[in-house]
Amino acid sequence: MSSEAIIAAEQQFTSGLYPKRQVAIVRGEGARLYNAEGRMFIDCVGGQGAANLGHSHPAVVAAVQAQAARLMSCPEIFHNDERAAYLQELAAALPFPARIFLCNSGAEAIEAGLKFARLLSGRKQIIATKRGFHGRTMGALSATWEPKYREPFLPLVPEFAHVPYGDPEDLAEAVGEGTAAVLLEPVQGEGGVRPAPAGYLESARRICDERGALLLLDEVQTGFGRTGRLFGCEHSGVTPDILILAKSIAAGLPMGAVAIHARHGALPGGAHGTTFGGNPLLCAAARAALRTYIQDDIPRQATEKGAWLVEQLRALNLPAVREVRGLGLLIGLELKTRAQPYLSALMERGVLALPAGPTVLRLLPPLVISYEDLETVVREIKAVLSV
Ligand SMILES: *Cc1c(COP(=O)(O)O)cnc(C)c1O
């Protein structure tokens, strides 16, 4: 199928929900993507954060192929070897002792985390943050801040409130006797690439402890090496009550996980569930991915490449750029004008990147990207933003 035919067919039959770019991607390898005619693009979208290991990582491909031929479906009413092994290995990699609920996406993991918070605390209120993003299903959307995502779907779930991100005093004022949980991203991703100010997560932890509320960390985007540690919370040493994971957990396949601190014990049987949760094919993929993150020290690659990239971008001293910020390989360029035209110009020149709000150009490359490709990215950003 030609790019033209692919685009025409999608335009006729897809929902219409996604403002799509005029490009048809048919193949990927590492940090490079190819269109139907074989044109190469350097990928700084990284599957919107799902492709931390790059595209079709050989270890994950092999695990998926072997498990697909053995067993693809096994709901959690049964035990399963691949799931048992994955739970053991993920638990060992987490920065705190935990029980784990497996599901199928970021929003679904958030939904579960919110339900568990109400269940464990016996309270109702959830405090989230302005510019926070947690997904688009009704519960997750209630925690998401962006008014244009929320307003068409009101009324949402009651008892959600939003405080400014990064200010412990606002948080201390909002959290009270009725607060079930505080829900935070260690770095706000969609909300503009905003790392938590120094001491913020520590303050949130202390406020939650003082008021008997749970601390939920949404690491859907920051997890699995993206910020330079396996989990973003490890930069601060803050341990959440509930850690929410998805995106890169299975190196590009749809999966989510909710890790509940072991001090809360097991959840009551039957309180929640999902058909595909703990699916053995996904567990095999996630297991191969986790081993690769650890064995290849992928978080260190994110630290080193991220520091290099930020330094290069700052050194360009581009008048169109207000600020370059980020953590690891989650990097944002705050522009003086809208990011969209620059994203289009970059695509024309063979670099795919993302927005994060109207004026932030976000770079989310696979953590395995080569320095050669990063050099090209810097050169093309310079070319496009100098105009
Ligand atoms: C992408 C994202 C989600 C939602 O995940 P989906 O798999 O798209 O539902 C939730 N939280 C954060 C921080 C995200 O970046």
DSSP class per residue in 85-120: HHHHHHHHHSSS-EEEEEESSHHHHHHHHHHHHHHH
Q: What is the CATH superfamily name and number for domain 3-57+299-385?
A: Aspartate Aminotransferase, domain 1 (3.90.1150.10)
Residue whose CA is closest, atom 6 of ligand 1? 106
Return the best residue to mutate from 18, 48, 52, 133 for the ligand 1 pocket (most ligand atoms within 8 A of CB). Answer: 133
- Please identify, by atom number, the ligand 1 atom nearest to the C-alpha of residue 105: 7
Any idea what the Cα angle at residue 298 is, between residues 97 and 26, rounded to 5°? 115
Which two three-digit tokens encode residue 353?
């990147």
Residue 221 Cβ inside 6 Å of ligand 1? The answer reads yes
State whether residue 332 is helix, strand or coil. strand
The rounded distance, in Å, linking the Cα atoms of 248 and 290 is 10
Only one residue has tokens 């579960």, namely 112
Rounded to whole angstroms, the Cα distance separating 286 from 247 reads 11
Regarding pTM above 0.75, the answer is: yes
Q: Is ligand 1 within 6 A of the CB of residue 145? A: no
Q: How far apart are CA 162 and CA 141, in angstroms?
A: 12
Q: How far is the CA of 143 from the centre of ligand 1 (A)?
A: 12
Residue 86 Cβ inside 6 Å of ligand 1? The answer reads no
What is the per-residue pLDDT for 208?
98
Q: Indicate the helix (H) or strand (E) that contains 321.
A: strand 321-327
Give me ligand 1 centre to Cα 149, in Å: 13
Answer yes or no: is the C-beta of 129 below 6 A from any ligand 1 atom. no
The residue among 316, 310, 323 whose CA lies nearest residue 386 is 316
- 166's CB contacts (< 8 A; 6+ apart) are 194, 196, 197, 200
Take residue 373 and report the two structure tokens written for it: 């490709």
The amino acid at residue 194 is R
Measure 245 CA to ligand 1 centroid, in angstroms: 9
214 backbone dihedrals φ, ψ, rounded to 5°: -90, 150
Q: Pick the atom of ligand 1 nearest to 256's CA.
A: 7
From first to last of the 387 residues of the chain, give the pLDDT tens digit. 999 999 999 999 999 999 999 999 999 999 999 999 999 999 999 999 999 999 999 999 999 999 999 999 999 999 999 999 999 999 999 999 999 999 999 999 999 999 999 999 999 999 999 999 999 999 999 999 999 999 999 999 999 999 999 999 999 999 999 999 999 999 999 999 999 999 999 999 999 999 999 999 999 999 999 999 999 999 999 999 999 999 999 999 999 999 999 999 999 999 999 999 999 999 999 999 999 999 999 999 999 999 999 999 999 999 999 999 999 999 999 999 999 999 999 999 999 999 999 999 999 999 999 999 999 999 999 999 997
Cβ contacts of residue 257 below 8 Å, gap of 6+? 90, 100, 101, 102, 103, 109, 244, 245, 246, 249
Residues comprising the chain, all counted:
387
Residue 209's contacts (CB-CB under 8 Å, 6 or more residues apart) are none
Q: What ranges do the domains of the chain cover?
A: 3-57+299-385, 58-295
Query: Which residues have CB under 8 Å from 49's CB, separation 6+?
Result: 189, 220, 221, 226, 247, 248, 364
Task: Select 58-295's CATH number: 3.40.640.10, 3.20.20.70, 3.40.50.300, 3.30.420.40.
Answer: 3.40.640.10
pLDDT at 387: 77
- Residue pair 218/189 in contact (Cβ under 8 Å)? The answer is no
Cα–ligand 1 centroid distance for 221 (angstroms) = 7
- The residue assigned the tokens 């031929």 is 69
Which atom number of ligand 1 is nearest to the Cα of residue 222? 13
